[in-house]
Amino acid sequence: MKAALYIDKHFPIGEVDKRIFGSFVEHLGRSVYEGVYQPESPFADEQGMRKDVIDLVSELNVPVIRYPGGNFVSGYHWEDGVGPKEERPARVEPAWSVIESNQFGLNEFVDWTKKVNAEPMMAVNLGTRGPEDAKNLLEYCNIPRGSYYSDLRRKHGWEQPHNIKLWCLGNEMDGPWQMGHKTAEEYGRIAAETGRMMKMLDPEVELVACGSSSLYMDTFGQWEDIVLSESYDYVDYVSLHQYYDNEANNTPDFLASTVAMDKFINQVVAICDAVKAKKRKDKTINLSFDEWNVWYHSKEHDSKLERWIQAPHQLEDVYNMEDALLVGSMLITLLRHADRVKIACLAQLVNVIAPIMTSDTGAWRQTIYYPFAYASRYGRGTVLNTVIDVPTYPSKHGDAPYLDAVCIIGEDEESLTVFAVNKNLEDAMELSCSLREFEGYTVKEHIVLTHADLKAENTEANPNNVIPTADGNAAVEDGTLKASLPARSFNVIRLGK
Ligand code: AHR
């Protein structure tokens, strides 16, 4: 099969906001306990944080990390997780039917983000709580001193304010499963009033309003319209969440999920702009795709879990080769919308639907780790409008191109990177791309992630089963980039002068 890419330096889509390579740590399963924090582990540092996880997260290059939930945040009292550890209460946690010990909380999280070189993206509880608690939390975090909550933080040992600038106004408030679930009108009002109060306290904060929990919610569209109509002046982003699965074991359909993801993004952009026009505003609302991933492998196991225990093995999807292909495609889709998607969080980061897994004896990289790591490392700069000429195949999401690809001029303006996923399961794809505006560029590296078995996984016993190799054959011939992309492969082609 043949495919051609067409790019022009003068037709950029936009600058990549590095926050699209964000991720997510929720108090859920073994994400915090045994993932981020495990004081009794031989891998723990002086604060009880796992050093092996810190190393893998740092290598993954995650500039922003959302916390503490997720569904968890909608019943959370942040005060339970600060102050002397021996005085912190254990609570029932209804979202995931577990016991939360509160031995890890806000201050520990902020310290941990510094160790992994990331900024926190905090969520406030707009499920069972409201504007008053959000104000108190912001005061605790961002006011330097001289008030009840800022002095409480200092008393707890954090003299300097955390200065957290990115905040989510609740989580999935459209979802009937959510504690404190609301109608669009109810949520729109509370988001507006909470946002207004938070910006009174700290005008520099950026706020994310909850959009729909997926494209398939019955309220999708109307929800965004009403919420933004109520809160437009006080929020900066609207969220999107989407998980895909291959429960039907139909790999071509599964890999075509990015057709639906692309549609989801376009539709949310359209609604944001419609509200903007209706309100005659200059301000533009951008998108925060703050939960995205593959999620289904663990669902049967989780339906049988014992209730009210601490840190169970929950949502521990073991990812395979085809999941890595879709994650690579989803990253390409986010990059292709760099003009409007400014924040995105791979959900999640450690142990829970995660690229990184831990056990008592170590930590390892799942298959999906690799496309994310490469996209975050080399996907910074200016995204070019990348026109793709390739055959399509019919799927449940509509006609799907066999190739997903995007080209990015690096921040140094001297490099050009092509990310490409060949979704043809049988044949290699012969790719060409004229480099008429990139004279003197040669291929520095062609990295390939593929495996003969689409169901191949990385496990504790076999952590290097699916790993990238730098043995791709991309080359520049007579001013044209030529490469053979193996069947079912994720590719990174790096060019430079
Ligand atoms: O990431 C797992 C869960 O998925 C989150 O808690 C929730 O927001 C979403 O439904």
What is the H or E stretch that residue 432 is in? strand 429-434
Q: Which domain CATH number covers 130?
A: 3.20.20.80
Distance in angstroms (rounded) separating the CA atoms of residues 76 and 68 = 9
Give the mean pLDDT of the chain: 98
Looking at the DSSP bridge assignments, the partners of residue 409 are 382, 416
- Domain membership of residue 1 (yes or no) is no
Q: For this structure, is 291 an active site residue?
A: yes
Amino acid residing at 387: V
Under the phi-then-psi rule, with left for phi > 0, alpha for psi from -120 to 50, and beta for the rest, what region is 117? left
Same domain, 156 and 238: yes
- Domain membership of residue 325 (yes or no) is yes
Half-sphere exposure of 192 (CA within 13 A, CB side): 14
What is the H or E stretch that residue 49 is in? none
Q: Which domain holds residue 475?
A: 387-496
Under DSSP, the state recorded for 224 is: H
- Domain membership of residue 12 (yes or no) is no
Distance in angstroms (rounded) separating the CA atoms of residues 230 and 245 = 34
Q: From atom 6 of ligand 1, which residue's Cα is the shortest distance away?
A: 70
- What domain count does the chain have? 2
Same domain, 399 and 374: no
Q: What is the pLDDT along the chain (497 residues), one digit of tens a residue?
A: 999 999 999 999 999 999 999 999 999 999 999 999 999 999 999 999 999 999 999 999 999 999 999 999 999 999 999 999 999 999 999 999 999 999 999 999 999 999 999 999 999 999 999 999 999 999 999 999 999 999 999 999 999 999 999 999 999 999 999 999 999 999 999 999 999 999 999 999 999 999 999 999 999 999 999 999 999 999 999 999 999 999 999 999 999 999 999 999 999 999 999 999 999 999 999 999 999 999 999 999 999 999 999 999 999 999 999 999 999 999 999 999 999 999 999 999 999 999 999 999 999 999 999 999 999 999 999 999 999 999 999 999 999 999 999 999 998 889 999 999 999 999 999 999 999 999 999 999 999 999 999 999 999 999 999 999 999 999 999 999 999 999 999 999 999 99
Give the global pTM: 0.97
User: ∠ at Cα 356 (67, 325), nearest 5°?
Assistant: 105
- Nearest atom, ligand 1, residue 96 CA: 6
Same domain, 323 and 415: no
241: closest CA among 285, 211, 286? 211
Same domain, 297 and 412: no
Same domain, 351 and 436: no
Tokens in use for 359? 């056990």
Q: How far is the centre of ligand 1, averaged over its atoms, from the C-alpha of 241 (Å)?
A: 8
Sign, CA torsion 76/117/31/42: negative
Using CB atoms within 10 Å of the CB of residue 248, give its burial: 0 to 12 exposed, 13 to 18 middle, 19+ buried: exposed
- Domain membership of residue 9 (yes or no) is no
pLDDT of residue 93: 97
Distance in angstroms (rounded) separating the CA atoms of residues 379 and 18 = 9
Per-residue pLDDT tens digits for 251-283? 999 999 999 999 999 999 999 999 999 999 999
Same domain, 191 and 297: yes
Same domain, 23 and 119: yes
Count of CB atoms situated within 10 Å of the CB of 84 = 8
Same domain, 175 and 265: yes
| From 24, 71, 290, mutation site for ligand 1 pocket: most ligand atoms within 8 A of C-beta | 71
3-state secondary structure of 338: coil
- Domain membership of residue 7 (yes or no) is no
- Domain membership of residue 4 (yes or no) is no
At a CB cut-off of 8 Å and minimum separation 6, what does 126 contact?
Answer: 74, 134, 169, 170, 173, 180, 182, 187, 190, 191, 194
Boundary (domain end) residue, out of 378, 401, 424: 378
Same domain, 345 and 233: yes
Same domain, 85 and 213: yes
User: ∠ at Cα 306 (305, 307), nearest 5°?
Assistant: 110
Count of CB atoms situated within 10 Å of the CB of 185 = 12
Q: How far is the centre of ligand 1, averaged over its atoms, from the C-alpha of 353 (Å)?
A: 10
- Nearest atom, ligand 1, residue 315 CA: 2
Instruction: With beta carbons less than 8 A apart as the criterion, state whether 259 and 398 touch.
Output: yes
Same domain, 324 and 404: no
Q: How far is the centre of ligand 1, averaged over its atoms, from the C-alpha of 474 (Å)?
A: 39
- Domain membership of residue 100 (yes or no) is yes
Per-residue pLDDT tens digits for 159-187? 999 999 999 999 999 999 999 999 999 99
Same domain, 406 and 357: no
- Domain membership of residue 29 (yes or no) is yes
Torsions phi, psi of 116, nearest 5? -105, 10
